[in-house]
Amino acid sequence: MEINDTPELNFIPAQQTVSSGSASGNKEPELNMLVNQTNDTSNVVTGGGGSVLNQGTLTSPNYKVGSAGWKLDSNGDLEASSGTFRGTLSASTGTIGGWSINATSIYTGTEDHSGYTANAGDLTIYSDGSDASIHAKNFYLDTSGNLACTSATISGAITTGVGSSISGDYVDALSVAKLSAGTISSKAITLAVTPDAGDSKIQAGKTDFTNSETGFILGIDDSDSDKAKFYCGTATDYVYFDGTSWIATNLAQSFAFTAGEALTANDALSIINVDQEFLSSDGTEDLGTGTSEKLAQSFQTALTGAKIWGCMFAISKNGSPVDNVYVTLEADSKGSPSGTPLATSQSVNGANLATGAANIEFIFATPYALTASTDYWLVLQRDDALSGSNYYKVRDNAAGGYTSGAAKYFDSPNWGALTNFKFATFIIKAGNVYKSKADYEALVDGFVGFARAAADAAATVEAQLTGIVYKASWGLTEGKQYFLTDTAGAIGTTAGTYSKKVGKAITSEKLLIDKVAD
C-alpha cells in the first residue's frame, strides 16, 4: 500500500509501513525527526504552502526533558538548547537565564521599581511607556534622571547645573583650589596641625606670618612652637597677633553717622550744631528789675526729631548782682510764654559776669525734643529778688530782623512786646553730625572726630573717632598741635574763640587725634 498526501514538512511519521508492488518493508525517515504517533497521518494537516502539527508532539530523536534535543508541541511551546532567530522575537512574559520578563519589566530576583530593591541580587529594569527606571539593592536611577546610591567612585569629571549641590557629611580628598566661589556653610573649619610638618593656615595675599606683604593670614606657625597667629594689613598699615601680643599701626575707631549738612572729607565734626542764630545787636534790655522781671525770645525749628541742647544770649551785669541767671524752655500760650518749664538750664553766677556784654551759653540739664514748625520760648530770669540797681542787661536789636520769632518782657502780670534779642539755639539730633567750629563752647564740647569721606546732607558718613586720620596733600606742619577754629569744619595751629585741641601732626598728611580741651 502506498501513502497518499505525504506532509509538506520534511519529516515522516516513525514506524510507518510502506508497500511498493510485490515488495514490502519499513521505509526509513528522510530526516532524523520523530513524531510520537504511529500510523496516524491525521495528526499532520496539510495547508497552503506547508503543513502544521495539529496535535501531539514533535521532537528530535535525542530529546530528553531538560537536557538534550528539542521538542515542539501543538501549543507552540518549544524546548531547545539554543537557537538563532533571523526575525523579530516577541514575548510578553518569560525567562531568559536568571531573568524574568513581563509587560513592563526585565528583572532578576523579585521585581521592585519603587526605590532600592529588598535583596542584594535583585535588579529591575522598568518602563511602562511613560516612566522608566533602574533599581538595585544599593542604587537606583529614577525616571527624572536622579541617581540614588549608597556610595560612588567616579573617575571622570562631575558636571552640575546651576543651583545643583553635592550634599552629605564630606567629600573625601576635595581640593580647596577648586572652590573658586560660593559659600561654605559649615559652622567649623578644622585645620590639621602636625608638629614639624609645616604651617596650618588660611591666607590671602600673605604667604607667611609677617607684615612684609599685603593681605591676611590666620593659623598655626609651625616654625614658632605652633603658636596661633593673625596678621592683616599692608607693609605699613597693619594689625597682628604674634602669639603673645596684639600690635597695630594706624589703628582707628570709626562710627557711622548721618550727615546733618553737606560734608567734605576730613571736616572736623560735632554732634551739636547751631540751629537758630541771630547775632545783630544795637542796644540792651534790662533783666531782673521791678518793671522787667523776665525777658523772652520765641523761635521755631524746621528739623524733625531734633532736641534743643542749649542756647546763647549776650549778657552783662549792672551794679553788683550776686544771684544767678538761668533759662527755661516754655511752650507758647496765645503768643506768650506759658509759664510752665519744659526744660531748665544750669545757672550762671551773676557775680562772674562782666559789665560789658559777653555771649553766655545756657545748657539744659536734659535735652528737650522739639516739634518742627512749632513756637517755643526761651525765658531769661534771675533766681533772687528784683533790684533797680543790681540787675542784668541783655543785648537786642531795635530794628528786629529775626523772622521766626519775637521778643517780650514781663512786667507782672503782663508780657509786653520787644524787638529781637541776640541769641542762638543749639540742637542735637540722634545719629547726626555737623561741621564743628570753636565760636561756641557747646560745639567744642560736641567734637567727635573727622569725616572719612565727603557726604551729602542726610547721607551716611563714617566718622573717624580715634587713631591717625589721613588726607593726601593736607599741608599739616609736622609736630604742631592743631585746634578747632571758628571756621566750620576747619582746624589750624591757632585756637578759635574756645580752645579745643584735636590732635598733633605726625606728618604733613597725617594727624594723630587727641581730643583734649585747653
Q: Of all helices (H) and strands (E), which one includes residue 96?
A: strand 94-96
DSSP class of residue 41?
G
On average, the pLDDT of the chain sits at: 86
DSSP code string of 208-234: SSSSSSSEEEEEEEGGGTTEEEEEEE-
Grid cell 551773676 in the structure block, residue? 350
Where residue 415 falls among pLDDT bands split at 50, 70, 90? very high
**Residue 202's Cα: distance from chain center in Å?**
22
Residue range 308-324: average pLDDT?
97
* CA angle at 350 for the pair 412 and 443, rounded to the nearest 5°: 105
* 32-74 tens-digit pLDDT: 444 444 445 555 544 444 445 455 788 888 888 888 888 888 7
Where residue 214 falls among pLDDT bands split at 50, 70, 90? very high
Reply yes or no on whether the pLDDT at 388 is more than 60.
yes
DSSP class of residue 48?
T
Q: Of all helices (H) and strands (E), which one includes residue 441?
A: helix 441-445
DSSP code string of 152-201: ----S-----TT----SS--TT--GGG--SS----S-------TTS--EE
Reply yes or no on whether the pLDDT at 320 is more than 90.
yes
* Contacts of 124 by beta carbon, 8 Å cutoff, 6+ apart: 105, 106, 107, 111, 112, 113, 117, 134, 135, 136
**453 neighbors 472 (Cβ within 8 angstroms):** no
* 157-210 tens-digit pLDDT: 877 776 666 665 555 555 666 566 777 777 888 888 998 899 999 999 999 999
Residue 32: the pLDDT is 44
pTM: 0.59
The residue among 37, 40, 16 whose CA lies nearest residue 28 is 16
Residue range 396-412: average pLDDT?
94
Residue range 228-250: average pLDDT?
89
Task: Return d(Cα 470, Cα 476) in angstroms, integer.
Answer: 10
**315 neighbors 393 (Cβ within 8 angstroms):** yes
Q: What's the CATH fold of domain 272-429?
A: Jelly Rolls (2.60.120)
Task: Return d(Cα 15, Cα 27) in angstroms, integer.
Answer: 8
Reply yes or no on whether the pLDDT at 309 is more than 90.
yes
Task: Return d(Cα 16, Cα 20) in angstroms, integer.
Answer: 14
Omega of the bond leading into 413 within 30 degrees of 0 (cis): yes
The residue among 477, 484, 405 whose CA lies nearest residue 437 is 484
**390 neighbors 320 (Cβ within 8 angstroms):** yes
Which grid cell sits at 428? 542735637
Reply yes or no on whether the pLDDT at 293 is more than 90.
yes
Domain ranges of the chain: 17-79, 94-149, 200-248, 255-261+437-517, 272-429
Most confident option among 74-83, 135-144, 362-371: 362-371
More confident residue, 232 or 8: 232
